[in-house]
Structure 1
Amino acid sequence: MDCGEFEKPCDPNYFESALLYIKKAQVLMKDKDYPYIGKESQNGSCCINMKKCVHIHNLRYKGITSEKAMATSVEKRGPIPFAMRVNTCFFRFSGKGIFDDCYCCMTGNGTHAMTIIGFGHENGLDYWLIKNSWGKKWGDDGFAKIRRNIRLCGIDHYALEVKFQ
């Protein structure tokens, strides 16, 4: 948020803008060195420390349009960014159990970007393990399980597979 000119950083279109910025800059900071705080820095400037940067080369990305392909990407390459429709009921989700409120998604007019970090099966249900950017007070310490393989909240409409060296 500090280093790019992003008006709506949680909008799905942000993914491509952010990736184009990273492709141009060819560097990223590790979370431990430049943690995400959910707002611009106080001085409003980019605070990259080049000595602590990870250099990125050959950045490529493509859209993923099925939950099966999303699972394959997570399994082979690791976390993937995605966006889904959300409403206030998602904002209030405690993180207990698996989120599967289809009605919440149908009434939501907002879209929120997050990261899928894994997937699994629990109590007869497939789920995605996601990391949110709202901090440790949301969900289960900033993480949640979302029902998988039912296209919940349009989760398969905007996911990306990112590759780089």
Structure 2
Amino acid sequence: MESKLPVLFLCLAFAACSANQHHDPSVVGYSQEDLASPNKLLDLFTSWSVEHSKIYASPKEKVKRYRVFKQNLMHIAETNRKNGSYWLGLNQFADIAHEEFKASYLGLKPGLSKMGAPPRPATTFRYANAVDLPWAVDWRYKGAVTPVKNQGECGSCWAFSTVAAVEGINQIATGKLVSLSEQELMDCDTTFDHGCGGGIMDFAFAFIMGNQGIHTDEDYPYLMEEGYCKEKQPHASVVTITGYEDVPENSEVSLLKALAHQPVSVGIAAGSKDFQFYKGGVFDGACSAELDHALTAVGYGSSYGQDYIVMKNSWGKNWGDQGYVRMKRGTGKPEGVCGIYSMASYPVKNATHWGA
């Protein structure tokens, strides 16, 4: 037993260091000395601008953005000093004021379901009786998740969340991972959803069903803005679904049951400064008051005693952990952190439609 103690000690030390690595200034790209020096702050802004290809229309605009950059940097530093379970970092949004950010990059509109849409009959939850769930699931490693995409300055998160979920169930059903078209939803799904003006995933699933499928991203590429709906292309392939279902509200176990079987579209309250600059760790922090953004849950697991759900975002790989965020679970709140159990749904693809 004694011979194993040094090894055990080393393992625990390594775990502790790994768990606290976000306190290393190199993780977020600056030190306390940088924050105290105007010259270093300006150098940091300059190098950040080059890294993110920022070009400003005038010296006045550049000065304005520098001020916003400093304010955001101070928020990042102050949050990281709290030694929480997650940490923040500079990303492509560092020169954008928070109100501007919310207006341009969030697009989930739960209220649309109450504004003229026909009432929807209650759906079943096919995974209600699922038991013996795996302790961890990650659909990225199962080949059911396409690379992280970027919605750009457009409130089209609802389309990206929808498409990621359909890409997932299509791969599970057919064995083929095909990148699908968010732009088709932007241009053609306009009865209740509103392109860059926002939408919800259930309406988009219903559109795909009524449209007899959705085109590939290659055939109908993303423009980062609304366009005209293209007619069906005779030789272009489409991916179909046969239905969609809602996950029971405010039920963590129900979301885990669904997620054990396929990626799931999820609405969250992401309109906070902490979420804007999330860099890594298990997020359990500040949230906005209402659901305002859509992501796709692609797995769940546990790390250093922190249970989490892995979510794919659509703000590019420079945001978060290579475009992903781990949301804390097991908090005891029925709605979950940032309301992640309030509005979740997934597409259905029956075996008879596997070839399409």
Whether the 8 Å contact between 2:247 and 2:258 is mirrored in structure 1 is no
Whether the 8 Å contact between 1:10 and 1:112 is mirrored in structure 2 is no
Q: Which amino acid aligns with 1:114?
A: L
Name the structure 2 match of 1:25.
Answer: 211
Name the structure 2 match of 1:46.
Answer: 229
Find out whether 1:164 has 2:349 as its counterpart. Answer: yes
Name the structure 2 match of 1:59.
Answer: 243
Whether the 8 Å contact between 1:64 and 1:161 is mirrored in structure 2 is no
Number of aligned residues = 156
Q: Secondary structure at the match of 1:114?
A: strand
Name the structure 2 match of 1:155.
Answer: 340
Q: Which runs of 5+ in 1 are unaligned?
A: none
Shift of 1:52: 4.0
Identity %: 29
Higher CA-based Rg: 2
Shift of 1:72: 1.0
Find out whether 1:69 has 2:264 as its counterpart. Answer: no
Shift of 1:29: 2.9
Deviation string, structure 1 residues 80-131 (Cα, Å, up to 9, x no partner): 001111223212111x111110xx11x5455111100011100101111100
Q: Secondary structure at the match of 1:120?
A: strand
1:127 to 308, 312, 318: 308
Matches of 1:57 and 1:71 in 2, distance apart?
22
Deviation string, structure 1 residues 15-42 (Cα, Å, up to 9, x no partner): 12111211110212345654556533xx
Matches of 1:49 and 1:149 in 2, distance apart?
47
More helix by share: 2
The verdict on how the C-alpha distance between 1:2 and 1:152 changes in structure 2, with shifts beyond 3 A counting, is same
The verdict on how the C-alpha distance between 1:52 and 1:146 changes in structure 2, with shifts beyond 3 A counting, is farther
Matches of 1:133 and 1:158 in 2, distance apart?
18
2:292 to 111, 115, 122: 111
Deviation string, structure 1 residues 127-149 (Cα, Å, up to 9, x no partner): 11100111222112211111112
Q: Secondary structure at the match of 1:2?
A: helix
More strand by share: 1
1:91 to 269, 276, 283: 276
Deviation string, structure 1 residues 46-77 (Cα, Å, up to 9, x no partner): 3565544334252232233211111111112x
The higher-RCO structure (CA 8 Å, 6+ apart) is 1
Name the structure 1 match of 2:194.
Answer: 7
The verdict on how the C-alpha distance between 1:57 and 1:130 changes in structure 2, with shifts beyond 3 A counting, is closer
The verdict on how the C-alpha distance between 1:110 and 1:154 changes in structure 2, with shifts beyond 3 A counting, is closer
Matches of 1:156 and 1:10 in 2, distance apart?
24
Matches of 2:197 and 2:326 in 1, distance apart?
19
TM value normalised by structure 2: 0.40
